[in-house]
Structure 1
Amino acid sequence: MSATDSSSAGTRDTPGPAPGTDVPGDLQDGVPETSAPPEGPRRRGFRMPHIYVVLFCLSALAAVATHLIPAHQYARVEGPDGREVIDPGSYSAVAASPTGLLDFLTAIPRGLVDAGEVVFFTFVIGGAFMVVRRTGIIENALDRLLRAFAHRRLLLIPVLITVFATIATLIGTQELALVYIPVLIPVVLALGYDSVTAVAIALIGTTAGFTAGVLNPINTGLGQQIAGIETFSGAGLRTLLLVTLVVLGSLWTVRYARRVAADPASGLIHDDPEEHQKRRLYSAGATRTARRMSGRQRLALVLSLPVLGVTVWGVSSQGWFMIEMAGMFLLLMVIIGMVSGLGPSTISSAFSEGMRSVLEGAIIVGVARSVAVLLEDGLVLDTIVHALAQAVSGLPAALAAVGMFAVQSLFNFVIPSGSGQAVVTMPIMAPLADLLDVTRQTAVLAFQLGDGPTNILYPTSGYFMAALAIGGVRWERWLRFYLPLFAAWALVGIGFLIAAQLTGWA
């Protein structure tokens, strides 16, 4: 993304180290240089276009597809917890509804409306984080973390990935990465790494936990309910999967972070001017004189704990999602800002500044949604689902589970939502598994493995693109980091599916 990270704006309001203070010797190794990268000769050859161009081309392909693919639909019926699911026996042809010129021109605005929750949540996170930064609390907390991990910096990475994975595997909210990233960036940069490392810690941790879904109600729970098997059964194998994904993700992220610490120029976004702006802001590290929080700052943190507790309770047990989370973060922002001593006008201006810093990422969310809007309006989405299911049905039994995994991975491009994909595909995949002698438990696992890792791969995933924007990492740069890990995770997933198939896991 080219959008400025929410932690990089407003540098004039952030206190830096006092004149003459030195960075502790144990923090000097790996602290990036603050000078801008020298300009070298321009490289010729292919260059990834802006993400807007990529998504516009995908929207155009979706529009063309509505003219080429026959229109079919499944009837929708009430499923578990009142959710609408498809009736697998109701597939039939319907009148074609190809995309017209006006439909295509309005696809992006309609995508923004459809993705309104994610767009608004992105704005709120960007604005709220800027307000908290203005209070000085982040700088004080940063100083303490730097001192705590000064001699074991790399240990912070697997610890945080494990914590985020554990939370996600219990409550199933990958979107919490949007909350983690703004807080991680100043800490990770001050320890000598870069924004890719911070984004990776949040996205890999939440994705590993969400994918394994030991007690995840959004993918495991709903998928098993639709498949007609006991909710959260098979937790043992899923726990082993969780540990495997976390270990691989931690090793890959630590490997990259160690390389950046040794040579900042080797980082994937070293040449990004915005990254250098953030480094100048945060790479000074802790001063020799420890920072101390004021009484008002401590009181603000104490008062914020009940708000955070209520938010976690609402998400985990009351079905709260982005709208409710956004409201709670607005409340949190006001409490921390007012108690810390910021006036209403200062809070408002900081909030506006933070929202501006994530503007591009918020808009990308809506642009990405336009692809699914066109396929749904063109009545070809169900046709695609049916064709993918038919492709799986022709596979030998030993490869059927792997085929289901491939289908779910491909389909997640157009519906990058755990619950959304479950209600569309699982009513078909569950009975298909019976015909292919694949246990329904394995079919659910194939759905989880196809859904989770691709959520941080495809540009049509709204929350993922918003996370990259908040972190200041362009999508193509992220791909260079993530694709090798994605391949490793895919191989692990295939291994687990084959083992489940051979053992008759149920």
Structure 2
Amino acid sequence: MATPPDPTQPETVGFRFPSAFTILFALIILVAALTWIIPAGQYARVASEALGKDVPVAGTYALTAANPQGIFDVILAPIAGFYDPDSYAANAIDVSLFVLIIGGFIGVVTATGAIDAGIARAMVRLKGRENWMIPFLMALFALGGTTYGMAEETLAFYMLLIPVMIAAGYDAVVAVAVILLGAGVGVLGSTINAFSTVIASDAAGVTFADGLMLRLIILGLCWLVTVAFVMRYAARVKADPSKSLVFDKKAANEAHFIGGTTLPGTAFTGLQQIVLILFALTFAVMIWGVSSQGWWMAQMSGLFLIAAILIGMIARLGEARLVEAFLNGARDLLGVALIIGLARGIVVVMDAGHITDTILHAAEMSVAGLPEVAFINVIYWIEVGMSFLVPSTSGLAVLSMPILAPVADFAGVQRELVVTAFATGSGIVNLITPTSAVVMGGLAIGRVPYERWLRFIWPLLVALTAVIMAALSAAVFFA
């Protein structure tokens, strides 16, 4: 792993990796260019009452009138990314608004001093045992990922966990990894996740219980590999901070996230304890609402808005200070909200150019006649490729399963294995894809540059891919 730059040395003039905004806009331009090259085509679609969406019909692909995307489409793509109703990916405006309100909520809680004092107290209590936070928290996030597809909801936890990890002697990469990889591995090994395996199983014509044992094995193995990987990096950073991939941002991150106030002697008043109890209760209510009441971004945004007002009133901040704290917190995450819409713009351009179905049709043709083990592994890689274009797991399930699952019958492979290949393929890509609001939003909150996240995670991706392909191959062999 390359040594990070020394912040004590003058900055050298040379190539600097572009920001997330530049990367995403360049991808919009690239996809727009592809709409001039890749033939336009579409599958016929029928309404699915079970899925509540139109699904493509295998064998009905046909070329259609081209709709190449020009300069004005590229310019409008980030705007359409916020609210375009015609794409497979979820709208970004609700996620972006949720992020802004989360920022305001954190700003109000921070203004009470409760977070700083609480972190100080936690560091005293955890002295010498900080490393156990990593597997414990990653298990909780993985549980959310595998059961109800915890993804966008994780954006609420970054501003809570990053200060704790930095105060414990780690860095922002560790905090981002605990949340993003914890929940991401859960989604990768989706067991009863309604937004992944349940939708995919329905679309494939099997029950979500089919293949459940294999997915549990994959979940357990991938979780162990991921936790070991994160703990190894965390131990290196704690022993030698210069090993951090964001060492050059160490002072700035400490000032931004903990402000130098989380010393062991920081007072922890009764009022601040009440604020932290309400703070924790807000997240508990959010999880309850999402997992059992069908809440989504509007309900969660309303929850954090009213919680911010309630906490401000209890802490006696006053109207002017409460509003100022809320606006300052929202302002800190404005860049994150814009990144989310920009990422969605890529999918908007691809769908408008009618090349999504053409890519899927090419995938369908590529697996015809393959032996069983080769077939399931190629399906996995097809889902990996498609996931870069359609980061929504539910959207990709509805798009790809009605086409690829029937092909498995001709290859002699059980359809539930195709569902598992879909879940693992889309799950592993959604740990890194720049078209995902969860990835780009989380990295932006953590102030972790995208290229450094790639440097951090690529060995883990290799290891996880080896585990997944071995499991899929063994399942076919012993079926």
TM-score normalised by length of structure 2 = 0.92
Structure 2 spans left out of the alignment, 5+ residues: 1-5, 85-91
Q: Is 1:347–2:322 an aligned residue pair?
A: yes
* Aligned ranges 1:441-456 → 2 under 5 Å: 441-456=416-431
- 1:468 maps to amino acid: L
Which residue matches 2:39?
70
- Match among 87, 103, 119 for residue 73 of structure 2: 103
CA contact 1:269–1:275 (8 Å) conserved in 2:
no
The worse-fitting range, judged by mean Cα deviation, of 421-430 and 147-156 is 147-156
**What is the SS of the residue equivalent to 2:157?**
helix
User: What's the % identity of the aligned pairs?
Assistant: 37
- Match among 205, 208, 211 for residue 188 of structure 2: 211
The worse-fitting range, judged by mean Cα deviation, of 269-278 and 416-425 is 269-278
Deviations 1:415-441 (Å, cap 9, x if unpaired)? Answer: 101101100011111101111111111
Q: Is 1:161–2:161 an aligned residue pair?
A: no
- 2:12 maps to amino acid: R
Paired with 1:216 and 1:280, the residues of 2 have a C-alpha distance of: 35
Paired with 2:359 and 2:165, the residues of 1 have a C-alpha distance of: 42
- Match among 187, 190, 197 for residue 174 of structure 2: 197
**What is the SS of the residue equivalent to 1:393?**
coil
- Match among 492, 495, 500 for residue 470 of structure 2: 495
Paired with 1:468 and 1:155, the residues of 2 have a C-alpha distance of: 23
* Deviation (angstroms), 1:394: 4.6
* Deviation (angstroms), 1:282: 4.8
Which residue matches 2:390?
415
CA contact 2:111–2:325 (8 Å) conserved in 1:
yes
Structure 1 spans left out of the alignment, 5+ residues: 1-35
Paired with 2:72 and 2:257, the residues of 1 have a C-alpha distance of: 45
Paired with 1:235 and 1:211, the residues of 2 have a C-alpha distance of: 13
Which residue matches 2:268?
292
**What is the SS of the residue equivalent to 2:207?**
coil
- Match among 245, 252, 257 for residue 274 of structure 1: 252
Deviations 1:209-266 (Å, cap 9, x if unpaired)? Answer: 1111122111111111111212233332222222211111111111111111111121
Q: Is 1:249–2:249 an aligned residue pair?
A: no
Over 3 Å counting, the alpha-carbon distance change for 1:247 and 1:139 in structure 2 is same
- 2:26 maps to amino acid: C
Paired with 2:275 and 2:252, the residues of 1 have a C-alpha distance of: 30
**What is the SS of the residue equivalent to 2:46?**
strand
The worse-fitting range, judged by mean Cα deviation, of 393-402 and 247-256 is 393-402
Which residue matches 2:456?
481
* Deviation (angstroms), 1:271: 0.7
- Match among 65, 82, 88 for residue 112 of structure 1: 82
Q: Is 1:424–2:411 an aligned residue pair?
A: no
* Aligned ranges 1:374-453 → 2 under 5 Å: 374-453=349-428
* Deviation (angstroms), 1:293: 3.3
Paired with 2:332 and 2:275, the residues of 1 have a C-alpha distance of: 25
CA contact 1:119–1:366 (8 Å) conserved in 2:
yes
Paired with 1:347 and 1:429, the residues of 2 have a C-alpha distance of: 53
Over 3 Å counting, the alpha-carbon distance change for 1:442 and 1:128 in structure 2 is same
Paired with 1:266 and 1:436, the residues of 2 have a C-alpha distance of: 48
Q: Is 1:89–2:59 an aligned residue pair?
A: yes
CA contact 1:190–1:283 (8 Å) conserved in 2:
no
- 2:95 maps to amino acid: V
Which residue matches 2:88?
none
Which residue matches 1:50?
19
TM-score normalised by length of structure 1 = 0.87
Deviations 1:426-471 (Å, cap 9, x if unpaired)? Answer: 1111101111111111100100111112112111111211111111
* Deviation (angstroms), 1:43: 6.5
Which residue matches 1:20?
none
Paired with 2:131 and 2:281, the residues of 1 have a C-alpha distance of: 31
- 1:396 maps to amino acid: P
* Deviation (angstroms), 1:41: 5.8
CA contact 1:191–1:283 (8 Å) conserved in 2:
no
Over 3 Å counting, the alpha-carbon distance change for 1:412 and 1:67 in structure 2 is same
Paired with 1:148 and 1:74, the residues of 2 have a C-alpha distance of: 59
The worse-fitting range, judged by mean Cα deviation, of 388-397 and 479-488 is 388-397
- 2:43 maps to amino acid: Y
* Deviation (angstroms), 1:47: 3.4
Over 3 Å counting, the alpha-carbon distance change for 1:334 and 1:375 in structure 2 is same
- 1:39 maps to amino acid: Q
**What is the SS of the residue equivalent to 1:345?**
helix
Which residue matches 2:30?
61
Paired with 2:12 and 2:67, the residues of 1 have a C-alpha distance of: 47
Over 3 Å counting, the alpha-carbon distance change for 1:341 and 1:330 in structure 2 is same
CA contact 2:141–2:150 (8 Å) conserved in 1:
no
Q: Is 1:324–2:324 an aligned residue pair?
A: no
* Deviation (angstroms), 1:158: 1.1
* Deviation (angstroms), 1:37: 2.6
Paired with 2:153 and 2:264, the residues of 1 have a C-alpha distance of: 28
Over 3 Å counting, the alpha-carbon distance change for 1:462 and 1:447 in structure 2 is same
Which residue matches 1:12?
none
- 1:286 maps to amino acid: P
CA contact 1:111–1:367 (8 Å) conserved in 2:
yes
CA contact 1:167–1:209 (8 Å) conserved in 2:
yes
- Root mean square deviation, CA, Å: 2.0
The number of residue pairs the alignment matches comes to 465
